[in-house]
Structure 1
Amino acid sequence: MSPVRPFKKQRLVEAIARIYQAQKTGKLSVSRGRRCWDLYFESGRLAYAIDPVHRVRRWYRALERYCPDAPETLFAPSDREEVWEYQCLQEAIVGDRITISQAKSILYANAREVLFSLQGVTDTTYRWQDRTLDRPTLFVPLSLSALELKQLLRDVRALSQQWYSLGLRPPDANRAPRLARDGHASGSAFLNLLEAFDGRHTVWDLLVRLDSSMSVVTRLLHHFLEQNILSWKTLKDVPLREKSPVRVPKIACLDDSLTVRNSLESIVSKAGYRFQGFQDAVEAVPAIIEQPPDLLFLDLVMPVANGYEVCTQLRRVSALESMPIVILTSKDGVVDRLRARWVGASDFLTKPVCKTTVLKILFEYLSESNDVALNPISSQFTSPLNSQFEFA
């Protein structure tokens, strides 16, 4: 990483243009006093922009607007990088949980807010630092192209001009407007706006809450200010919700053969699951009843009690009625299969076990459960990424 170098004093647009022309990768820090904005670039393209004011609120707001069905995996990882939002988007695309279109819409919306907050800020200092963003490798860059960046700058400039013409200041966008309840206005429309403009949502929040454009909200703000029924409230940022830990399924195997247990453990563990092996039924049955696995591979021929007897005993326990039980045997006759079904077995697997067949069984039975993670197997069945880009 190279040392930090100051940029010559110039306008932000000129600094961004220089970075793009030089195809630079790194971080441009724009500061004024204790306030600092960071713009990250990859090969001259704007990758992500950060304003510490309402950084987390801005992230959740973008998710709500462009990824309303965003899974918990889009929450910040526990091992957060400096630009954890960018890391989350990259991992979500690689995992086929969101599209590149959605991710780029988030990038654009986020950058618009950050650049808008810089409007009217004077006496700023620019500093550049060469650095790379830690991320998975995508087949397309997750950053704004030259055309998208030009459109972004035009949008910010037009929005800024509108705000100043109506007597508003860009910093007000991060504040919460509140309508006076004793105002002279009345009617259902005003009552609805009264609920929205309640001092608990910033102007940016209201765009999502009202599903409206900044132009419409700005005109409303101007109208209420002229009526002298609007006040401003400063809000703190919201706390960052950590990603919930994912429960990894446990696969058990009851087989008196060490070779079979070792073979299954190798397949199951490499697929990302937990494994628990048992040699005899006397040890296995109480343990399985106390802490049921997500699936059980059960040997058919064993001393003391065979697989049919063990399966029958386990099915008598109400908590184990739906647990998948797969019979393991070197036999593959019709009678054996019918008897296995009769005692409640879910499936039949012939020895020696085959990796492909084992993984297929795990996917078939565990995918029916809603409370376990299937990323080791389901990742083999993901659909191609959608590379179409359009702003919502």
Structure 2
Amino acid sequence: MQGNLNEIDICSILQLIELGQRTGQLWVESHQTYQGNKIGSNNPPYNRSATESQAKSWFVFFLNGQIVYCQAGESNLSRIDDYLRHYRVEKRLNRTQIVALASTNSPEYAYIWLLLEQNIITPQAAKNIIHGLVHETLFDLLSLHQGSFIFDLGTGLVPQLTSLAIGDLVTKITKQVQEWKQLYPHIQSPEQLPILADLPRLTESLPAATVNKLQNWADGKVSLRQLARYLNRDILTVAKAIYPYVQQGWLQLVYSGTSTPSMTTSTWEEKNKYKGRVVCIEDAIAICENVESILRPQGYEAISMTKPLEALSLVFQIKPNLILCDIAMPELDGYEICAMLRHSTAFKLVPIIMLTGKEGFIDRVRASMLGATDYLTKPFTDTELIMLVEKYIDKDSSVKI
């Protein structure tokens, strides 16, 4: 069995494997290419855009229609080491033993068994680690909408330590994925890194013990997912716990390789004079390049993003003076992005200009109802774009359609 996830979703694939009581291995790959900006680069903002390719894969092992184990791509065993930190396990395998694991069908699974055989961890701890890894892998898979998969019938992983029934697990995690989406745009990805953004406010508003914990974890080096492993909690529980602080702006979430927005902004503004920062959220690279080529010579800092989910997180870091947003995009459309941004106090007054190839009264009304400031129909001329940006670039402008 093989195919694409736009033809059959992960939930249905898992149900088929469960109903058929299949034994074997499911391989899933998701490949995404997007244009984004790495905040914290040594280059000035106007020269800081790059196209990134992000390919991810997962393996799910089954025995008689139940899940035995899940592995994320070609694991380097760091996932398990994160869990070992929770159990305060100091002893590790030697290099020779770890190298030998590479020849096994699942190095991670073999790693857990070797730890168990050498009494480094208990059987219950081993089961808990496996359950945690299965849970986080299924959380990622059930969030996927694009990708490819192959299921191969074969022998199960041996020896078998535990197994999990698919039905109840999928129901539980699907509900968590739906709740996770409600945290947008403040929390986007389990791979985001929390950092302290307003320590004085945290100190004034929270108990000292809570502030100490936040200072310990929110160092810009530990991802939400790692934190979940350290605490032996699911990612949704961790995200909900920090959500109020992120919403207040006391904590900020960044991606690996980025620095705090305030550092980048202050450095840029001290060294350069510019009219304002414009973010363009548009899945068509040609249009992004066109917007940049029009606005940059006019003295604007133009930053393009072609993936709406990543863009939602980055705009909170970049703090643009104006946002250009396409309506028809995958993952999230422009209406959803506009509505999410308007729910944040940080973007109550930031002008949001909707870009679309559609012409119609209904589209304009819908955009206005969701908080859009204005509307620009594609294709547009240089003059049309410049005049509209100049009209609304004043951050105090809040004129609606």
Q: What is the TM-score normalised by the length of structure 1?
A: 0.49
Larger radius of gyration: 1
